[in-house]
Amino acid sequence: MATFSALGVGSGADLTTLLEGLMAVERRPLTAIQSQVTSYNTKISALGTLSSKLGALQTAAQALKPATLQSAAEKFATYAGTLADDKVGKVSVEEGATAGRYTLEVIKLANGQKDISNVVANGELQTGTFEIIFGSGDERNVSINTSAGETLETLRDTINNNAARSGVTASIINGTDGKRLVLNGAEGDDNDFIAGGGGVVFGDDFLTVAASNAEIKLDGVMIASQSNKITSALSGVTLDLAADSAGKTTTLTISRNTEDKLKSSLEAFVKAYNDAANSMASLGAYDAETKVAGDLQGNSILRNAQNTLRELVFNTSEGDLTLSGIGISVGKDGALTLDAEKLAAAVAKDPEAIANFAAKIGTAFDKGIDYFTGTTGSIQTSKDGLSASIRNLEERQEALELRLEKVEERYRAQFSALDVLLSNLNTTSSYLTQTLASLSASSS
């Protein structure tokens, strides 16, 4: 029996098209599964977007909450320092400061030791060792070997190369009588040193101005410091002294500010809320003209999240305080707006109450959103369910693809046999036609 490698070759029938049509019908369940998988993946992605936007809002809400053992007033407090006489120095304030006013007198500034050498003949060194000694075994000690003919500039540069360790820097004064080496030490009498040695000059040949500590009076209390940067006088306050004011006092003021940090935190919260609201509106939208729906249009989790946020906006309160009372209003489009002037007025009236209310807003939104974004929240639960459904569909898809392969093999075998049969029938028909034609011709 004849066989053919391609369908329809023997019979001339379009069996390939017929096979493709049959397989298209057989593949309809597979196409439906693939479409459903795509739909589920789209929904998982949309739920991820929803979770991300709500998570950003939750983070902004958490930023309104004080840390453990921290009050809301402390959470939003910032401090600034000023000196009535700014020529005396500058003030910087960090965490740990408290508001207050103090009288300050700068009795004297801290100075580093200064050594000025005698004139170095011809500005040249001799063979020997030059040392800067702070004490026996002190890690700051410097020992420099010198050679005859080296310049004073060479020694200066070597000293400066070791300045990070010793705290001593060197320079050269070129006077009318020749060059002198000048050494400058770090502030404070803990940094006294002895300089000299063979090869350059000796200790007795240096003119030394001893180092001294800074001394101030703060509200009449004497304070000494090795440095003109004083950090130990008041907690969280650094004084950078620039000039003494012996015999005169100036006022140091540490002021507290609640408005600035509270305003920036609420601005971040309002922005995160509006971003989340806009994203949710887009995910749940339906365009009547294009007939295109958002990826979560009609989704119950999305509706619940929108309702929860609206309820939190309108129902979160503390006594007589509401969001609108501190300057957060809701527009016709549902977006929030912060009125900075209204907030400032509320803070000025009762900063602690406003700080406590802001903390309550943060707590309420954090808890409300966690129902959706938590590790066991409704969004993750829904995503897990969809992922499980996708895995099930993919298993069905794999099994169906294997079945379709066998179905196609069966159809091909049947159509191949049909092709051969039709080919043989065509051959027989042609033979009979020719035979009958011959008989007819013979009889006539």
Point out which residues pair with 227 in neighbouring strands. none
pLDDT band at 4 (very low <50, low <70, confident <90, very high): very low
Percent of the chain with pLDDT over 70: 89
Residue 112 has pLDDT above 90, yes or no: yes
Least Cα distance to 200 among 168, 159, 161, 163 occurs for: 159
The confidence score (pLDDT) of residue 444 equals 57
pLDDT at 255: 93
Percent of the chain exceeding pLDDT 90 equals 59
pLDDT above 60 for 10? no
Report whether pLDDT(186) > 60: yes
Band of the pLDDT at 5, cuts 50, 70, 90? very low
Confidence of residue 14 (pLDDT cuts 50, 70, 90): low
Q: What is the pLDDT of residue 420?
A: 64
- Amino acid type, 398: E
156-177 pLDDT tens trace? 999 999 999 999 999 999 999 8
pLDDT single digits (tens) 15-30: 677 767 777 777 777 7
Q: Average of pLDDT values for 240-255? A: 92
DSSP state, residue 124? B
187: exposed, middle or buried (Cβ count in 10 Å: 0-12, 13-18, 19+)? buried
Averaged pLDDT for residues 21-50: 83
SS3 call for 159: helix
CA atoms within 13 Å, Cβ hemisphere of 257:
14
The gap between the terminal CA atoms of the chain, to the nearest Å, is 37
38 pLDDT more than 90: no
Q: How far apart are CA 330 and CA 325, in angstroms?
A: 12
Average pLDDT, the chain: 87
Q: How confident is the model at residue 426 (pLDDT cuts 50, 70, 90)?
A: low
What is the C-alpha separation between 345 and 343, in angstroms, rounded? 5
Q: In this predicted structure, which of 47-61, 140-154, 394-408 has the lowest mean pLDDT?
A: 394-408
> b/e map of 275-306 (b: 16 or more CB within 10 Å)?
ebbebbeebbeeeeeeeeebbbeebebbeebb
Q: What is the pLDDT of residues 79-98, one digit of tens each?
A: 999 999 999 999 999 888 89
Q: How confident is the model at residue 59 (pLDDT cuts 50, 70, 90)?
A: very high
Between CA 48 and CA 36 the distance in angstroms is 18
